[in-house]
Amino acid sequence: MDNKWVLQIKNVSKEYEGNSVLRGVSLSVKPGEIHALVGENGAGKSTLMNILFGMPVIHETGGFTGEVWLKGKKAEIESPKHAMEAGIGMVHQEFMLLPGFSVAENVKLNREPTKSNWFSKVSGRRLETLDLHKMGADTRRALDRIEMDIDEWLPLVGMPVGHRQFIEIAREIDKMDLSVLVLDEPTAVLTETEASTLLSVLKKLADSGIGVLFISHRLEEVCEIADTVTVLRDGEAIATMPTTETKLETIAEMMVGRKINRPKAAESGRTTDAGNVLEIRDLCVEMPGEYVNGANLTVRRGEILGLGGLAGHGKLGIANGIMGLYPSSGTLICDGEEIPLNNAQAALDAGLVFLSEDRRGVGLLLDESIEDNIALATMISKKKFLKRIGPLPVSILDRKSIREHAVDMISLLEIKCTGPQQSVSRLSGGNQQKVCVAKAITMEPRVLLVSEPTRGIDVGAKERVLSMIRRLNREKGITVVVISSELQELRSMCDRIAIMYKGRICGILDPDAPDAEFGLCMAGEGGSPSV
């Protein structure tokens, strides 16, 4: 019986301020098994993982009830340190890396290899010198294992989210005595190719006897690599079954409790000839890890343009550069007028609105309420949601209209929360993403640049967000540029898809172009280099 399960979660329940978010959840993982955990946004997946990893939020909010067993023994996990010592590795939904440090330092944080020196012989291990050489080599090995060719001594600050994800995984697999690896939406920011690399790494890890527990909203990959899947709905584990005995559609239905219509591809691929709304010439952007080196691109009025490519090839750099968030050079013309670069206000004034991929860094004010997060950006840049104080020539926030607008958005996007005044730090990852989407829509853009719009959003909500973007495009004539690592998502909604390679546009393809053509383009070959 001893080694049958590496991990057992028994009858776990958890409440946050009187809201019960987990109710008697049980789940077991065998050695070498890949166990997927799926569920709607706010179903309690991350909460369960936080319990498993002894995260401080759990204990600060009154702990939980139920038991966690590791390798047949009951475990009391009080802190992440305990969890690590017990052999649990965890990749969080939100990044847990130190931006000021290098990749190697992050991978080896708190577990730095050391050499003994004169001092340490006298006073013990704490004063040993860091073995930088070994640190670098270990990190290199971990990075190689996940097929990532990034310099291990590069600082992390400003690195794109896709890279950070891989570094987090490298950190976990570098731990030698790992017996359970937990990943909270590891593939959300990766392209299909990157994700499949990652999945094959997970397969290898599992074959070496590690139990893998992972959360994903991409049900295709769940069906592809998981052995078992557990569906969580509103805090209850409603089913656990082998993936061989179920279908993607069944899982999706179980998650949301209703039928899901998969987005139709029929509407994509229109040609518009209403002129160009945006012209980008020789754009160079210095966004670390996502450099753009002389990209040329035109966006037609009223179209939905997709921007794809592997992580690190600059697809994120373009939008961040245009919006003045990273130093850039080149020419940007919006509706025939040149817009100065490196000037966020000018871009906003021209009607460009950006939904950032870095939702916690750029997208949200974590300590503020949902309503403020939705309205403040518009208030600041567009002078809306203001009212006069009586006859005085002073305008202050119009709390009432902010509240009403937030309530509308919450019901429109089905944001799961206790009310518009809840702090966004208390929301689940997917619901935070929905707040970001609401914030961008509120700005009433002329051109909407959305970066990873459905990152971490469940199947049901994804359909809602995508159809909403489509509706904004159709009904309000908003031009949309979608930057996504999910090619499938781009193909289902875009009229044209530009693929980036090494900081340039490598080609612009039709959404129905064969897979092989996309593959070639992402590898820097083929495609039509026309703009």
Partner 1 sequence: MSSSFKQMMDKFGLPRLTIVLFLVALMIVATVNRLPTSMLLSNSLVRIGMNGVMVLAMVPSVQSGAGLNFGLSIGIIAGLIGMLVVMEFNLAGLLGLIVALLIACVLGAAAGYLYGQVLNRVRGQEMMIGTYTGFSIVSGMCMFWLLAPFRNPEMIWVVGGKGLRMTLAVDDSLAKILDNLWRFEILGVEIPVGLLLAFAFACLLLEVFFRSRFGVSMKVAGANPAFATSCGVNVDKMRVLGTVLSTALGAMGMVIYCQSFGYVQLYMAPLMMSFPAVAAVLIGGASARKATVWNAVLGTVLFQTLLTIALPVTRSVIQGDISEVAKTIISNCMILYALTRKEGDG
Ligand X SMILES: Nc1ncnc2c1ncn2[C@@H]1O[C@H](COP(=O)(O)OP(=O)(O)OP(=O)(O)O)[C@@H](O)[C@H]1O
- If one asks whether residue 358 binds partner 1 (CB under 8 A), the answer comes out as yes
- If one asks whether residue 367 binds partner 1 (CB under 8 A), the answer comes out as yes
Among 397, 407, 412, 513, contact with partner 1 (rule: CB under 8 A): 397
Q: ∠ CA 160-525-317 to the nearest 5 degrees?
A: 20
| Residues numbered 80-99 forming contacts with ligand X, rule: CB under 6 A | 93
Tokens of 307: 């921007």
Q: Residue 423 half-sphere exposure, CB side, CA atoms within 13 Å?
A: 6
Q: Using CB under 5 A, which of the segments 52-60, 89-97, 495-503, 521-529 binds Mg ion?
A: 89-97
- If one asks whether residue 166 binds partner 1 (CB under 8 A), the answer comes out as no
Q: What is the DSSP string of 155-209?
A: B-TT--HHHHHHHHHHHHHT-TT--EEEEESTTTTS-HHHHHHHHHHHHHHHHTT
Indicate the DSSP class of residue 102.
B
Among 7, 34, 45, 350, contact with ligand X (rule: CB under 6 A): 45
Among 46, 191, 216, 369, contact with Mg ion (rule: CB under 5 A): 46
- The listed partner (partner 1, ligand X, Mg ion, none) that binds 44, CB under 5 to 8 Å by sort, is ligand X
- The listed partner (Mg ion, ligand X, partner 1, none) that binds 377, CB under 5 to 8 Å by sort, is partner 1
- The listed partner (partner 1, ligand X, Mg ion, none) that binds 363, CB under 5 to 8 Å by sort, is partner 1
| 193 vs 381 by CB, closer to partner 1 | 381
Cβ contacts of 527 within 8 Å, gap of 6 or more = 499, 506, 507, 508, 509, 517, 520, 521
Among 54, 160, 324, 456, contact with ligand X (rule: CB under 6 A): 456
Cβ contacts of 344 within 8 Å, gap of 6 or more = 323, 324, 325
Dihedral (C-alpha) 213, 492, 260, 228: value to the nearest 10 degrees? Answer: -20
Contact pattern from residue 426 through residue 455 relative to ligand X, giving x for each residue in contact according to CB under 6 A and a dash for the rest: xxxxxx------------------------
Q: In this structure, are residues 21 and 48 in contact, taking their beta carbons and an 8 Å threshold?
A: no
| 238 vs 366 by CB, closer to partner 1 | 366
- The listed partner (partner 1, ligand X, Mg ion, none) that binds 358, CB under 5 to 8 Å by sort, is partner 1
| 154 vs 362 by CB, closer to partner 1 | 362
Cβ contacts of 84 within 8 Å, gap of 6 or more = 175
Q: ∠ CA 224-139-93 to the nearest 5 degrees?
A: 45
Number of Cβ within 10 Å of residue 64's Cβ equals 20
In whole angstroms, what is the distance from residue 161 CA to residue 312 CA? Answer: 10
- If one asks whether residue 362 binds partner 1 (CB under 8 A), the answer comes out as yes
Q: How far is the CB of 196 from ligand X (least distance, A)?
A: 22
In whole angstroms, what is the distance from residue 288 CA to residue 282 CA? Answer: 18
- The listed partner (ligand X, partner 1, Mg ion, none) that binds 426, CB under 5 to 8 Å by sort, is ligand X
| 214 vs 326 by CB, closer to partner 1 | 326
- The listed partner (ligand X, Mg ion, partner 1, none) that binds 148, CB under 5 to 8 Å by sort, is none
Among 28, 93, 139, 431, contact with Mg ion (rule: CB under 5 A): 93
| 365 vs 379 by CB, closer to ligand X | 365
- The listed partner (partner 1, Mg ion, ligand X, none) that binds 96, CB under 5 to 8 Å by sort, is none
Q: In this structure, are residues 282 and 331 in contact, taking their beta carbons and an 8 Å threshold?
A: yes
The closest of 222, 250, 257 to 236, measured between CA atoms, is: 257
| 201 vs 348 by CB, closer to partner 1 | 348
Q: In this structure, are residues 463 and 263 in contact, taking their beta carbons and an 8 Å threshold?
A: yes
Among 8, 28, 47, 328, contact with ligand X (rule: CB under 6 A): 47
Q: In this structure, are residues 57 and 79 in contact, taking their beta carbons and an 8 Å threshold?
A: no
Q: What is the binding site for partner 1 (CB under 8 A)?
A: 18, 323-325, 344-345, 347-349, 354, 356, 358, 361-368, 376-377, 379-381, 383, 386, 389, 394-397
Q: What is the binding site for Mg ion (CB under 5 A)?
A: 46, 93, 428-429
Q: What is the binding site for ligand X (CB under 6 A)?
A: 16-17, 21, 39, 41-47, 57, 93, 416, 426-431, 456, 458
